[in-house]
């Protein structure tokens, strides 16, 4: 269009110049060759001014034009400047850049929950099919309306196969499924190519969202209770293990004490070396040899061990004394 304007301005100057020359020669008497040239130039420039500027058509980058000759689509023009006689040819300009189609519609889940969905469909027309678009739809807004309807129907048909909770939990894979469904339904059938489909928002009713929130709180409390229970079990197992280790240590201590007492009372102590699989000595095990000892001697060491254990745990309370038949017995309290 800029080129047509420049040429039009030039022709206008020529036209005015020709008529001015004719007017100047008109004042002279008689016929003049210059007068004829002036009128001829002016008329030719006037005709060209009416034809040439409006016959230049510019298609910008990111656009595609359908050339219609006497109303019939006959060709496609991409970015550039073209000369087509305007009385017979017109240009329908289509935007071939990526379009953002915003969709806001109501839908239902498998369990009949109402939701309001928002999604964005990005697409661009197939420039090579611009003539088909012109013949079937005429304008891009008509084509876009058709794309909107297909996208809405495809989205709703997928959402109805999931429960509301599944839609919340599986939103990302469901969005990918919706994109694939819409692409399959539109690409190659409506002369456009789908770039992306994004499910931007899903809004359930306030009552349902409150129910979901309460359920999540209940699940969190349940998880917390289970965690506390598991923690208590672990702590109890730890305490039991500590008690076992303490008991084993106490038993080992008592055993060593009994060995020492037995040695003091004249008992024979047997020593047995403990070896591993490689034959390396890893320790010594002690045991009391009761061979040749009387029951009284064995009972003596047993009572002595009880007394030693009592002394280790004595809390300062004096033992009880019982006198019978002139004999006194000392009663040791149970620790």
The SS3 assignment for 238 reads helix
Q: Which is it for the CA torsion 91, 97, 102, 108, positive or negative?
A: positive
The whole-number pLDDT of residue 101 equals 95
* Structural domains of the chain sorted by starting position, each given as residue range(s) with its CATH number in brackets: 2-93 (no CATH), 98-204 (3.30.479.30), 251-331 (no CATH)
How many CB atoms within 10 Å of residue 96?
Answer: 21
Task: Please say if the pLDDT value at position 105 is more than 60.
Answer: yes
Helix axes 206-264, 295-313, angle to 10 degrees: 130
Q: Which residues contact 233 (CB under 8 A, 6 or more apart)?
A: none
Q: Give mean pLDDT, residues 63-86.
A: 87
Phi, psi of 125 (to 5 degrees): -75, 155
The whole-number pLDDT of residue 311 equals 59
Residue 306 to residue 258: CA distance in whole angstroms? 10
The whole-number pLDDT of residue 324 equals 53
Which token pair is 97? 């850049």
Which has more pLDDT, 66 or 242?
A: 66
Nearest by Cα to 107 from 177, 202, 182: 202
How far are the Cα atoms of 17, 26, 35, 168 from residue 29, in angstroms, in the given order? 21, 7, 11, 96
The whole-number pLDDT of residue 281 equals 77
Runs of H (alpha helix) within 164-205 = 164-169, 171-186
**275-305 pLDDT tens trace:** 888 878 777 777 777 777 777 777 776 666 6
* Beta strands at 72-77 and 56-59: parallel, antiparallel or unpaired: unpaired
Length of the chain: 335
Contacts by residues 267-270 (CB-CB < 8 Å, ≥ 24 positions apart): 267/293, 267/301
> DSSP label at 78?
-
The SS3 assignment for 192 reads strand
pTM of the model: 0.52
Task: Please say if the pLDDT value at position 144 is more than 80.
Answer: yes
Which token pair is 180? 């694939």
């Amino acid at each position: 269009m800029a080129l047509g304007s420049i040429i039009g301005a030039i022709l206008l100057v020529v036209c005015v110049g020709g008529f001015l020359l004719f007017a100047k020669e008109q004042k002279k008497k008689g016929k003049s060759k210059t007068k004829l040239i002036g009128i001829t130039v002016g008329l030719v420039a006037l005709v060209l001014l009416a034809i040439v500027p409006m016959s230049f058509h510019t298609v910008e980058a990111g656009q595609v034009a359908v050339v219609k000759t006497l109303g019939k689509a006959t060709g496609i023009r991409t970015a550039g400047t073209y000369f087509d006689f305007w009385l017979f040819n017109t240009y329908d300009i289509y935007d071939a850049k990526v379009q953002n189609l915003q969709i806001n519609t109501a839908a239902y889940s498998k369990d009949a929950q109402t939701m309001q969905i928002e999604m964005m469909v990005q697409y661009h027309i197939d420039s090579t099919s611009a003539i088909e678009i012109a013949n079937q739809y005429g304008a891009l807004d008509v084509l876009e309306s058709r794309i909107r309807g297909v996208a809405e129907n495809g989205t709703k048909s997928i959402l109805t196969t999931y429960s509301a909770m599944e839609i919340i939990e599986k939103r990302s894979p469901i969005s990918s499924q919706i994109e694939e469904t819409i692409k399959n339904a539109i690409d190659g059938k409506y002369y456009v190519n789908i770039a992306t489909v994004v499910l931007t928002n899903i809004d359930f009713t306030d009552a349902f969202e409150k129910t979901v929130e309460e359920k999540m709180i209940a699940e969190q409390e349940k998880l917390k209770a289970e965690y506390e229970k598991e923690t208590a079990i672990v702590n109890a197992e730890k305490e039991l293990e500590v008690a076992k280790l303490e008991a084993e240590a106490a038993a080992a201590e008592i055993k060593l004490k009994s060995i020492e007492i037995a040695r003091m009372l004249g008992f024979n102590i047997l020593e047995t070396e403990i070896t591993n699989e490689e034959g390396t000595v890893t320790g010594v095990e002690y045991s009391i040899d009761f061979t040749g000892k009387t029951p009284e001697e064995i009972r003596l060491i047993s009572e002595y061990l009880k007394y030693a254990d009592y002394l280790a745990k004595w809390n300062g309370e004096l033992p009880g004394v019982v006198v019978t038949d002139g004999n006194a017995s000392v009663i040791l309290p149970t620790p």
